[in-house]
Structures are given as structure tokens and as C-alpha cells.
């Protein structure tokens, strides 16, 4: 007889609360059998599971190539030099986590999670790969000029990233692009150590102060180009340049008609946010001619949109812009640069597809080849000298260079086991149910005995809803309701209709570290960084620490609504978010006053672990988060100390409170030895 049919009704003992230990009869198989677990997620790990199967399951060979792989220990490893990385040069992310989080007394850095791992070697390889792709396209097509890129600092303004770009890009005349006064100051400072030929492209809306800064940069021999986003900016450029006595180099941003239909295509087309129409471009050119400044006009800029999905769309847009470039040359402008903007996409989901914003259907070589051929074709047809090709490929440069590592601290059970304090026997509560609820229960048992799965489900749902209504009316106790829930959950499990997806609680703020997921639905690869030599046995979603229902990750690459995960069995369980090096840090907020992560900068080395930590920065403390919202931690500490003294709370309380201001807002699994000893001294123990 099926397990549920074995539950016999019995007279309950006197009293309101039962003494059931919460143990339902051991579930047997329903007639017809229990449905099998989904492919790739099973509680039983077959002996033939391999790291290759994990790489395939999580698409690591798709989105991760050539920088991330699964090593023989089942950990995610970084290949800092791409495909040219030797086995002894691979960096095991679990070893990085251990180095970063181990206490200082054990040779670690004593940092707390979450942890952002920066990989400058990967950034260098990305920049060199982009340059080499254009160099190859130029050579193979016989193009008559060169490629000279810039990094748009808005993608990630971190000091070390920008300085790395300038250093790594110096042999290629690689420059920077700024879109605000603060970014312009940053770019000016960094480019003093870069190539003297590197471009400093000044985009964004401009006032007199912005333009004056750009002209100051030009007076300091920085290769500065002021790109007009609006027609009226020309008057300010002319007036300011005459006042300062600095002749400007001017560019125009064109509103081209080519656009793509995805989320990132909204910045292009005639209705785009930025740029000049064809009529405005002609107006600017004629005004410069009247002012005898047409030789100042040297660059044409346009932007189709981020994550351009196909090279055919790219070629169409570049061809249209090249026509405008040639027309400006015909009108007498001293044109020499075509700036194709951003748009070089990356493959977030590993599909190498043009079907969504999460992937692109081309690689670096195909992208560069399409650009070079489109410019070359138009210029040759118009008998115009080939221009320098500039691009602002920020997302493609910096997305791979950082990995966000965070911990899953707990997960909810598929079915909560009833507590021993609920009631002694599930059968004993039956006689206390109302007649209609007891009838539902008896019908449920009868259907279970007959093996009628659908009828079982109907009566289980009916019993549960009826008892909820009685509970709301005050007729049933909490213990009654918990017992009914337990039986109905068991029915759902036996029928195979129970929700198999667990919620994993992660030590992270989605709003601080993955804002694009919440804001625009951007998907990032999220993968366990260890245990990949074992088959995952759970399907899960991720819930962050914030008090916000949007603080969860319930959509994953590949169109999945859950992520294959491993059981949390006492030890730490680490996950990594990959390809998030662009935009996330600058866009991250302070929801619930959770700040950013701790940061380590990790370079490949010949040491025993193949890496060296060249920079370690603790994450923002509670005091830092409070200061960002105009609070004064010092005054707060003083006020709380005064209240503790008034209440005779003892010296330990203000000491502990003061220490709390210096801690990160995130959870701590266990205090480090040094911190524990310090706290004990603080408490006088």
C-alpha cells in the first residue's frame, strides 16, 4: 500500500496542541513511479562525471574562452594569456580566494567577501588581441592607414584599470575617451604617461568649463579632439578657443540612420540621444569655413549601439558613416580620423549567436575585417585617402578582466521537515478537522491507494486551501496547519510536482555588484568556482542580502530559470560572476547600505601558486557607506557611547559598537582569530 494510505485516523488526545514528532511515514513509490530528475541535475552523482561535463553544463568553453577553464581539481582557473597560457601559468581561483580570505596569521590577507578579483594580464591580452585583429585586417586588405583605439573610461573608471590601459596601449598609441569633466581630468592625468600620439576623445554634452579643460589639454600637447554632440556647442568651442588662444581639433558625432533593434540600439538612428543630423553637419561645416577654421574639423564619430549583433549590420553602419566622412572631405575639411564608437560585443551566454543582446555572431578578427573593408570600399570609390580608424571598444576590453566571487551561505530545503515540537502523530489531528476538511483528507488517502495521481493532487490542494481558510478564521492552530502542509508537501513530492528549485542565500548585494541584471535584465555567467569535478544535484536561484524582492537572480544564460548547484555541506560554497568588468562598479548603488566588494589585483607569476597579489583593498566599511549618505560616523559613535554610559551598559558596548562601524556590512561566517582576540579584549574577557 502507498505510504500516504497508511495514515490511519485516530482519536486525538485531550488538549489543543499535539505532540507529533513531525515524522510522516516513510514515503513509498506511488503507482506509476516517481518522475525522474531533470537532466544534468541529480542527487546521485554518477562515477563518470567529469570536469569536461561541468564545462559543458555551464557553457564555460563558450563564454569563457580563451580566459577561463575548469582544471583537474574541479576549480575554475584563469588563463591570463589566453590560448597561449601554459599549464603552469593557470591561476586557480580557489587559491586566490584562500589567499585573500585566510587570516593574516596564516599568511592570508584577512579580507572579507564578496571579493572582486582583477586580472591585469587578461586586460593586456584583450587590448593586444584587439590591436592585432585590426593590424591583420589592415595588412590583409592593403588598407592605407592604421588603427588607433581609445578606451571609454565610463566603462570602468577604476584608477588601476585606466592606468593599465594607458601603459599596455602605449606601443599602439592607444588613448582614452571621456564623457564628463571628471572623466576628462582623469584621462588628462593618465595620458601624461602614455603615448604622445594617443587620442584624447572628448565626448558628451559640454559647457565652457568642459571645453576649456579640453583646450588646456591640447595646450599641454595631449592629442585632444573635441567632438560636437550638439550644433550649439560649436559657438562655445570657437569663443573659448579664441579667448584662450588655443586652436582646437574638432570632431562631429553623426546621427546615422543605421541602427539595431536590441536594447542597446536606442542610442543610434535619427531619434538617437546624441549627434548631429545631416543638416546640422552641413551647417557646422559651413560655419567653420566662414570662420576660416575648416581645417580644425578632422574627425567623424558615430555609434550604432553596444553589442552590435552581426557584422552585416556593422558594415552597413560603417559604410553609411564613411560616406559622410568622404563628403566632409569633399567640402574641404581636413578629415583624418573616423571614430566608429563602441559596439564590439562579447558573448555573455556562450552561444556565439546574433539572436539576443547576450551574444554576438562574430569574433575580433571578423569585426575588424568588416570595419576595414567597409571604410576602404567607400573611400576608394570616392577617391578619399584612407583615414585612421578609431574605436571605443570599452565593454570588449574590460569585461573579462574581473571576476566577482561571493559565497552562498545557506539554502532552503526542498520540503521543510516538520519539527518534533509540532505534534506527535499526523493521524491524531484528523478528528479535530471540520467535516469537509476531513472528507478531503479521506478522499486524498483513497486516491493515493488507487494510484490516481491527478485526483490526489486535486484533493491535496483542496485540503490545503480549506485549512488555510480555517486558520485565517481562527479555527485551526498553527500546529494543525503545519501538519497539513507536511502531508500536502509529501503528496507533491511523491507525484513529482513539488517545486524542485531551491533558493540559495548569497552574501552579496545585487544592487551594488550586479546592477545591470536588476536594471536592464543583463545576464552574466554565474558558476560555482569549485566542486566542478562533481555533478550538481540541485536546481537553484540566488537571493541576495537586501530587503528587496528584486534582489534575486532567477534568470541565467541559456534561457534557464535556475542554476545547477551543489549541496552546501557545512563548508563554504563559492560562486563567481564572470564578464562583469564593464559598468557594474560605477553603476552599483548602496541599497540597504551594502557597499562594494573587497578587491585584489592578481598577476601571473612564477611562484608556487602561479600568481601574486599586487594590490589588496578591503571593501567599504559600514562607516564608509554611512558617509556616502552624508552621515557622520564619528558623531554617531560619540552619541551611542554617551547613551551606553547613561544606561550603564558597560565599557564593552561602546567599544563593540565602534568596531562595528569599521566592519564591512556583509555577513561573516566566522571571525578571524585576530579579530576574535581583539573583540575579547574589548569585552574585557
Q: Are 248 and 291 in contact (CB under 8 A)?
A: no
Q: Are 148 and 173 in contact (CB under 8 A)?
A: yes
Q: How far apart are CA 299 and CA 284, in angstroms?
A: 13
- In the structure, how many helices (H) and strands (E) does the chain have? 22, 21
Q: Are 161 and 401 in contact (CB under 8 A)?
A: yes
Q: Are 540 and 565 in contact (CB under 8 A)?
A: yes
Q: How far apart are CA 100 and CA 655, in angstroms?
A: 27
Q: Which residues contact 57 (CB under 8 A, 6 or more apart)?
A: 40, 536, 564
* DSSP secondary structure code for residue 140 in this structure: H
Q: Are 306 and 260 in contact (CB under 8 A)?
A: no
Q: Is 184 exposed, middle or buried (0-12, 13-18, 19+ CB in 10 A)?
A: buried
Q: How far apart are CA 85 and CA 40, in angstroms?
A: 30
Beta bridge partners of 299: 251, 337
The beta strands (E) that lie in 133-247 are given as 150-152, 175-178, 199-202, 223-228
547 a catalytic residue: yes
Q: How far apart are CA 536 and CA 575, in angstroms?
A: 13
Strand, coil or helix: what is 673? helix
Strand, coil or helix: what is 280? helix
Q: Are 175 and 153 in contact (CB under 8 A)?
A: no
Q: Tell me how crowded residue 105 is: count the other CB atoms within 10 A of its CB.
A: 11
Most distant CA pair in the chain, distance:
104
Q: What is the CA 552 to chain-centroid distance, rounded?
A: 13
Q: What values do phi and psi take at 407, rounded to 5?
A: -115, 140
Q: Is 627 exposed, middle or buried (0-12, 13-18, 19+ CB in 10 A)?
A: middle
Q: What values do phi and psi take at 303, rounded to 5?
A: -150, 115
Q: Which is catalytic among the residues 155, 190, 423, 547?
A: 547
Q: Are strands 598-604 and 115-118 parallel, antiparallel or unpaired?
A: parallel
Q: Are 337 and 388 in contact (CB under 8 A)?
A: yes
**Omega before 66 within 30 of 0, i.e. cis:** yes
End-to-end CA distance of the chain: 61
DSSP string, 652-668: HHHHHHHHHHTS-SS--
Beta bridge partners of 539: 501, 564
Query: Which residues form the catalytic set?
Result: 547
Amino acid at each position: 500500500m502507498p505510504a500516504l494510505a497508511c495514515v490511519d485516523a485516530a482519536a486525538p488526545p485531550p488538549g489543543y496542541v499535539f505532540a507529533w514528532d513531525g515524522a510522516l511515514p516513510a514515503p513509498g513509490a506511488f503507482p506509476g513511479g516517481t518522475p525522474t530528475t531533470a537532466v544534468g541535475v541529480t542527487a546521485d552523482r554518477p562515477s563518470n562525471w567529469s570536469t569536461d561535463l561541468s564545462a559543458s553544463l555551464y557553457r564555460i568553453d563558450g563564454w569563457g574562452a580563451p580566459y577561463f577553464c575548469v582544471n583537474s581539481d574541479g576549480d575554475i582557473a584563469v588563463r591570463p594569456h589566453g590560448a597561449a597560457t601554459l599549464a603552469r601559468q593557470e591561476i586557480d581561483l580557489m587559491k586566490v580566494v584562500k589567499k585573500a580570505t585566510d587570516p593574516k596569521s596564516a599568511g592570508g590577507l584577512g579580507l572579507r567577501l564578496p571579493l572582486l578579483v582583477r586580472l591585469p594580464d587578461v586586460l593586456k591580452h584583450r587590448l593586444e588581441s584587439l590591436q592585432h585583429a585590426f593590424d591583420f585586417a589592415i595588412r590583409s586588405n592593403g588598407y592605407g592607414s592604421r588603427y588607433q583605439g581609445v578606451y571609454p573610461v565610463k566603462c570602468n573608471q577604476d584608477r588601476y584599470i585606466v592606468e593599465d590601459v594607458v601603459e599596455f596601449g602605449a606601443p599602439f598609441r592607444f588613448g582614452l575617451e571621456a564623457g564628463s569633466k571628471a572623466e576628462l581630468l582623469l584621462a588628462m592625468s593618465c595620458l601624461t604617461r602614455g603615448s604622445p600620439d594617443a587620442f584624447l576623445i572628448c565626448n558628451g554634452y559640454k559647457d565652457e568649463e568642459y571645453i576649456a579643460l579640453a583646450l588646456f589639454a591640447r595646450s599641454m600637447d595631449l592629442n585632444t579632439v573635441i567632438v560636437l554632440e550638439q550644433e550649439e556647442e560649436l559657438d562655445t568651442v570657437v569663443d573659448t578657443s579664441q579667448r584662450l588662444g588655443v586652436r582646437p581639433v574638432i570632431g562631429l558625432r553623426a546621427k546615422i540612420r543605421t541602427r539595431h533593434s536590441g536594447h542597446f540600439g536606442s542610442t543610434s538612428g535619427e531619434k538617437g540621444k546624441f549627434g548631429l543630423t545631416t543638416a546640422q553637419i552641413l551647417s557646422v561645416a559651413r560655419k567653420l569655413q566662414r570662420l576660416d577654421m575648416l581645417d580644425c574639423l578632422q574627425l567623424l564619430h558615430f555609434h550604432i549601439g553596444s553589442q552590435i549583433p552581426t557584422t552585416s549590420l556593422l558594415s552597413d553602419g560603417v559604410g553609411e558613416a564613411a560616406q559622410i566622412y568622404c563628403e566632409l572631405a569633399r567640402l574641404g575639411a581636413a578629415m583624418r580620423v573616423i571614430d566608429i564608437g563602441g559596439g564590439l560585443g562579447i558573448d555573455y551566454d556562450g552561444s556565439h549567436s546574433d539572436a539576443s543582446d547576450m551574444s554576438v555572431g562574430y569574433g575580433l578578427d571578423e569585426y575588424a575585417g568588416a570595419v576595414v573593408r567597409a571604410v576602404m570600399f567607400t573611400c576608394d570609390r570616392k577617391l578619399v585617402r584612407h583615414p585612421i580608424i578609431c574605436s571605443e571598444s570599452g565593454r570588449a576590453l574590460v569585461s573579462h578582466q574581473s571576476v566577482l566571487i561571493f559565497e552562498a551561505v545557506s539554502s532552503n530545503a526542498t520540503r521543510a521537515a516538520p519539527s518534533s515540537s509540532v505534534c506527535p502523530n499526523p493521524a491524531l489531528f484528523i478528528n479535530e478537522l471540520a467535516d469537509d476538511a476531513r472528507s478531503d483528507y479521506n478522499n486524498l488517502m483513497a486516491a493515493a491507494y488507487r494510484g490516481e495521481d491527478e485526483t490526489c493532487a486535486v484533493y491535496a490542494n483542496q485540503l490545503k486551501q480549506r485549512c488555510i481558510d480555517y486558520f485565517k478564521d481562527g479555527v485551526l492552530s498553527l500546529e494543525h496547519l503545519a501538519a497539513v502542509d507536511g502531508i500536502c508537501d509529501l503528496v507533491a513530492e511523491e507525484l513529482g510536482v513539488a517545486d524542485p528549485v531551491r533558493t540559495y542565500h548569497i552574501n552579496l548585494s545585487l544592487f551594488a555588484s550586479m546592477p545591470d541584471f536588476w536594471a536592464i535584465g543583463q545576464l552574466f555567467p554565474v558558476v560555482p568556482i569549485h566542486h566542478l569535478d562533481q555533478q550538481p544535484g540541485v536546481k537553484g536561484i540566488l537571493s541576495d542580502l537586501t530587503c528587496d524582492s528584486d534582489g534575486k537572480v532567477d534568470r541565467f544564460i541559456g534561457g534557464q530559470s535556475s542554476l545547477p548547484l551543489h549541496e552546501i555541506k557545512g563548508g563554504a560554497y563559492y560562486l563567481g560572476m564572470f564578464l562583469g568588468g564593464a559598468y557594474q562598479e560605477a553603476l552599483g548603488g548602496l541599497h540597504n547600505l551594502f557597499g562594494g566588494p573587497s578587491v585584489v589585483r592578481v598577476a601571473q607569476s612564477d611562484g608556487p601558486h602561479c600568481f601574486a597579489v599586487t594590490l589588496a583593498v578591503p571593501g567599504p566599511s559600514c562607516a564608509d557607506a554611512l558617509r556616502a549618505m552624508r552621515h557622520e560616523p564619528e558623531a554617531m559613535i560619540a552619541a551611542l557611547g554617551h547613551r551606553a554610559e547613561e544606561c550603564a551598559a558597560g565599557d564593552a558596548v561602546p567599544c563593540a559598537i565602534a568596531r562595528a562601524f569599521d566592519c564591512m556590512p556583509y555577513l561573516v561566517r566566522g571571525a578571524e582569530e585576530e579579530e576574535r582576540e581583539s573583540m575579547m579584549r574589548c569585552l574585557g574577557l
